[in-house]
Structure 1
Amino acid sequence: MTHKQKMLSLGILATTLPFLLVGMYGLISGRYFIPSKNSVDVMGGDAALLLSALTLLMAVVLATPEIIKIRGVDIRRFKVFYLAIQYGVIAAFTVVLVISQTTNWLHDPVDASFIKRFQDINRSGDDSAASAAFDPELQLLVVGRESGRVELWNTHNPDTRFVHDAHAARAEFIAFGREDGIVLTGSGFDSSHVQPDSGSRVWDAATGKLLVTLTGMWAPGPMVASPVKSLYVIGDSDSLRLYDHRQRKLVGDIYKLENSAQVTAVTSDAESGLIAVGSSNGELLLLTLDAAGDQPRLKLVRQIAPYEKQVRLDVLALKFLDEGRRLVSVGWLPEELRKDSQAEISEWETGTLKRQRTYPFSLQTVNWAAAVPDEPWLILAGLESSRGKIELVNLQTGIAWRYKANTSHPRAVLLPQVRAGLILQSGRATQINYLDAQ
């Protein structure tokens, strides 16, 4: 073996080391890192494990012939054999990577046994749900309890869940960071000015590990991943704060609402770059996030107060449609307009913030609302004729379905991948097959 050939073999061995490290880390952690245009994306589940195994195998099949060559063994007669193995492993890796990025193959977000497992564990529980949210890409159902407890349920592996006594009380705010592989939870009771070490929490979605506590806020509120990677918008009483996950801290300027109105709802749209905010005086704001400078900051695009600015006109939920061209809001009405219902669902054209339509529903009072990510659904919780109900509103058809609950403050979450939902109520979780009603 010539000196030049030996150096070439050593160079190939050096290039296999990153493959070896990535493969080993993926098998241990269950997460696989994929470079994207401007960042690094994270994959979990069975696809991550298979890609990790193939990456490790790729390192082995690339390194083995070179190690044998360096030891002085002539393997030229086996060249066709080991090249076939190398190309086969590379082809398998490419196929799995492409399919896992474009389909749900090997990435089924909800195991068939998950709902029954969830119901069994929630039977006869006495800690009511304050919030619930599901993310199919992270394969995670998060439940916030009135006690402040936070539960992270792996819907792909029903026996895996993480439970934390995370907040002082009422863990009512949940947000997902898909690209960062994180979950944010919060409670309005976590004032750092009362208890210095309290605040919104950031969790690793795969391991349930607490990554950081965001202290320094008066009354943490609703939160959402912004259109800019790794930046998150968090309500704090009458202000909006920015959390940078890369730096693990709050950054940028604080954006304050007018007239000391409280932030009650927030959402974002990646396509348009818009961030929508709803307040306790019924106001709707559209903002953008400028992250080009040294400090990111929020900029107002337009705002509207449909019923002027009155107290107790909370905007409960917001949802963008049609790549940010439309915005749907759920909010309380002024007292003089609450003849048939306490709330209304309105659709706005974001270019002008002109109301386009309202959606019918039946609840007389609404105490909680949520938008379902990537699906045309709103979830309302409240009362109809003094009975607790969950109402699902389809924003495509305008049709709504109602489901009984045994409490006035139920919560619900939809799992579209298994055509079902869960109503979290007093002492149990009830399955609803809402897609079968269409």
Structure 2
Amino acid sequence: MKYAIQPDVVSAHNDKLASDLNRDFEVLGEQLSRKGVDINALTEKAQAFDIAVPSWGTGTGGTRFARFPGVGEPRNIFEKVEDCAVIHQLSGCASAISPHFPWDVVDDFSELKAHSDSYGLSWSSVNSNTFQDQPDQAQSYKYGSLTHTSAAVREQAIAHNTQVIEWGKKLGSDTLTVWVGDGSNHPGQQHFQRAFERYLDSAKAIYAALPGDWEMHLEHKMFEPAFYSTVIQDWGSNILAAMETGERCKSLVDLGHHAPNVNIEMIVSRLIQFKKLGGFHFNDSKYGDDDLDSGSIHPYQQFLIFNELVDAEHRKQPGFSPAYMLDQSHNVTDPIESLINSAIEVQRSYIKALLVDRTTLEGYQQDNDALMASNTLKGAFNVDVSPILAMARFRKNAAINPLATYRASQYREQAAVARPDTGGSRSGIV
């Protein structure tokens, strides 16, 4: 197998830290054992945890005002794969890539698949793009795509999604994610019900092209680029559309796509209950769809979401198998560093949620003991599980200290030489 960073660089850094890690791990293990928790069982769970990396996240993002690209950014999907290989090699928990089409289209998908295979990476959900016009596109999406009043525009958007499925099949994917920016910017601009009817008809046409072992995930977003109304604006419209479309059509939750202060963990619970939780796009938010690094603003909220996920896992709820993916925009940081950090922070929330004493919590809930129920969650959240995460990485030959190892490898500096700026990078989201 190929490595983006030489393994001896990783092992040399690990050798310096292994002794301290073993001591920290032993101390935490003793503390957890007094609560009846097996630290090695938790470490195995951390080792098994995996989250997909978005291909577009490896490049610098931007705003509606400007984009300030960094050095050594990937200029094509092959170089994005190399950056994703670094993220997984150092974090040990990001072995899949989620591509976006047509941004990541190549002439030979077998060559791309062989390239990712050589790094031990797989492909997760494929994402379609009908929220912007492409060169030589016959119809414009300015006024919508799957919900457009023009049948010709809708047919073009449906055809693109079915083509994305074909590209995904070549990579070994088994999920199509559909997000549209369709909506309106002025009252009266759009007939709400007719627009939703057109969306449902389009979604069903795409679903009909779905292979029998695939899922279709619908993504909702409250606003932007449509600021007055969005056709799939919240989880309510999302689950209704998923239920209308088909059994293998499910809802995808992006943490930044809700109104401020919405109870996302309760939404997650509802979707699980009705077997319609398809997966997540993990990020964080201060004001809106900020696409900030996961866990950078609301780590407790992320933990509470995982509390619901672990509860479903604990209860062995049927149909529960959500896909986890990062979806972020990095404007002032090295995207590789932010994605490594984010993958580990999501993993951290998962392990903390596993620490919740379910029997005790259920007892307090049954007794309506609000304070102790809350404290049970807080007790798990306040445990520093860093030694568990570090040990999981160490046991998988990943990096005990990923960021220090990454910087010492000088991967970014080497990429700057190998990838001179051509002014044509398609990485990141602007």
TM-score by length of 1: 0.27
Greater C-alpha radius of gyration: 1
Structure with the larger RCO, 1 or 2 (CA within 8 Å, 6+ apart): 2
Richer in helix (by share): 2
